[in-house]
Structure 1
Amino acid sequence: MNHSIIDIGINLMHRTFHQDRDQVVERALDNHVTPLIITGTSLRSSLEAARYAGRYPEKLYATAGVHPHDAKNCNEETIAKLKELAALPQVVAIGECGLDYNRDFSPRDVQRKWFTEQVQLAVELKMPLFLHEREAFSDFVAILKDNAVQKAVVHCFTGTYAELKAYLEMGFHIGITGWICDERRGKHLRDLVRMIPLDRLMIETDAPFLTPRDLKEKPAEGRNEPAFLPHILQTVATCIGRPVEEVAKATTETSVDFFGLS
């Protein structure tokens, strides 16, 4: 593959990358995966992501947000601090934010409150949203509609036909991960991905999670990383019946336009 591709979601500040974070970035570049967008999932990780991305102008970017798992730790200063981070040139979206009723690590009413606050911040700043939803579709969509959200990507989509149809009708973009490489859990996704127009489709690893199950050479300790994104790209291209280079070019152009990358 000659075309560079963009990993729109990598948890690069995760503890599993502490020992070799710089090398992970270099391996991504060696595999034509550039730039990378580091996911912020709490105030602390968002700050760390922004600082680290600032060391690699135009190669690394970051999001700033609070994941629903961490919503219980939000307070009256949270939104103001996210707003400060959002002013940095390397910060390109608000999130990862949303609702997760599968784990319920934060109470559901608390999740809804702080998701709404972050949605309103993104609307105020005219920034894209990087979204997380798990088993909370109705409340999730209601909050987005109530706030007239127009620019959002549903990160790591693994949902149903009806959910995908609703997101596309709302004008949202869709992020596809290595879940599609899992012949057990991702079988339905291989069919659904054909519904996504190329100008709404983006790809991501969600590393260190969701390592493609069908990798020929398994990574040490099962850790995913951006260097494996070409494998996900190949699977997506096969599923939609398009040449790899065409899908690489389209998803890259879509990501650049969506996030306003340099």
Structure 2
Amino acid sequence: MNNLPMNNLIDIGVNLMHRSFHEDRDQVVARAESSGVSPLIITGTSLRNSIEAARYASRMPGKCYATAGIHPHDAKSCNAETIPKLKELAVLPQVVAIGECGLDYNRDFSPRDIQRKWFASQLQLAQELNMPVFLHERDAFPDFAALLREHKPARAVVHCFTGNEKELMTYLDMGLYIGITGWICDERRGKHLKALVKRIPLDRLMIETDAPFLTPRDLPAKPADGRNEPAFLPHILQSVAGCIGKSVEETARATTETAKRFFGI
């Protein structure tokens, strides 16, 4: 894969501040770059995590960017200072989106009314700053879609899309972008994605690892510790290209250009 004539791929969703990367974070970035994956968009999932992501990205100009947001799991920890602090982060040059934010009714780590309140607040912040939004949704489609219709973000990507055809077409009709992960490589639960991904226009499709999670199950050489990392993004690209019937080169070029345009990088 490394020898293919393509633009660098952009991994739009890497949980690079996760504890599993504490020992070798710089090496993970270097391995990604040598695999043709650069820059990386580091996902912010809490206030502390977003601060760490922005700080790390500032050390890696051009190689890493960050998002700033509160994941629905952490919505219960939000208070009156949360949005002002996110706003301070959002104006930094290396911070390119608000999020990861949204609704998660699968695990319900935060009460649902609290999730909705802070999702709406982050959508309002993105509107105010005219920034894109990095979205999370699990088992919450009706409320999630209703809040997006109400607040109408200028640009938003549904990160790690794993939903059904109705949900996909609703998102596309709303003008949203779609992020596809190694879930599509899972023969147990990703079969439906292989057909659905064909419905996503190339100018709305982006790819991501969601590392260290969602390691592609069909990797030829699986990591001993099971940890996913952005160097594996070319494998996901190859799967997506095969599903949509496009060459790897065309798919790489399109998803990279879409990501550059979406995040303004």
Q: TM-score, normalised by structure 2?
A: 0.98
1:13 matched residue in structure 2: 17
Distance in 2 (alpha carbons) for counterparts of 1:6 and 1:80:
29
Alignment equivalent of 2:198, drawn from 194, 205, 216: 194
Kept in 1: contact 2:197–2:243 (CA 8 A): yes
Local SS of the residue matching 1:61: strand
Deviations 1:215-262 (A, max 9, x none): 01110210000000000000000000100000000000000000000x
Question: Within 5 A, what are the aligned runs for 1:154-233?
Answer: 154-233=158-237
Distance in 1 (alpha carbons) for counterparts of 2:85 and 2:153:
22
Kept in 1: contact 2:103–2:140 (CA 8 A): yes
Q: Is residue 38 from structure 1 mapped to residue 74 from structure 2 by the alignment?
A: no
**What are the ranges of 5 or more consecutive residues in structure 1 without an aligned counterpart?**
none
Distance in 1 (alpha carbons) for counterparts of 2:194 and 2:83:
37
Distance in 2 (alpha carbons) for counterparts of 1:149 and 1:162:
20
Kept in 2: contact 1:150–1:170 (CA 8 A): no
Kept in 1: contact 2:131–2:154 (CA 8 A): no
Local SS of the residue matching 2:246: coil
Deviation at 1:58, TM superposition (A): 1.1
Letter in 2 for 1:102: N
Kept in 2: contact 1:39–1:63 (CA 8 A): yes
Kept in 2: contact 1:7–1:226 (CA 8 A): yes
Deviation at 1:150, TM superposition (A): 3.2
2:89 matched residue in structure 1: 85
Local SS of the residue matching 2:98: strand
Distance in 2 (alpha carbons) for counterparts of 1:113 and 1:147:
12
Letter in 2 for 1:53: A
Deviation at 1:141, TM superposition (A): 0.6
Alignment equivalent of 1:131, drawn from 129, 135, 144: 135
Deviation at 1:21, TM superposition (A): 0.2
Deviations 1:70-115 (A, max 9, x none): 0000000000000000000000000000000000000000000000
Alignment equivalent of 2:51, drawn from 44, 47, 52: 47
RMSD over aligned CA atoms reads 0.5
Local SS of the residue matching 1:54: helix
Letter in 1 for 2:5: N
2:244 matched residue in structure 1: 240
Deviation at 1:149, TM superposition (A): 2.2
Deviation at 1:176, TM superposition (A): 0.1
Local SS of the residue matching 2:38: strand
Deviation at 1:2, TM superposition (A): 2.6
Distance in 2 (alpha carbons) for counterparts of 1:64 and 1:149:
16
Letter in 2 for 1:157: F
Kept in 2: contact 1:96–1:130 (CA 8 A): yes
Deviation at 1:56, TM superposition (A): 0.9
**What are the ranges of 5 or more consecutive residues in structure 2 without an aligned counterpart?**
none
Question: Within 5 A, what are the aligned runs for 1:140-151?
Answer: 140-151=144-155
Distance in 1 (alpha carbons) for counterparts of 2:147 and 2:134:
14
Local SS of the residue matching 2:33: helix
Letter in 2 for 1:104: D
Letter in 1 for 2:113: D
**Percent of matched pairs sharing the same residue:** 74
Deviation at 1:158, TM superposition (A): 0.1
Q: Is residue 70 from structure 1 mapped to residue 74 from structure 2 by the alignment?
A: yes
1:103 matched residue in structure 2: 107
Kept in 1: contact 2:75–2:110 (CA 8 A): yes
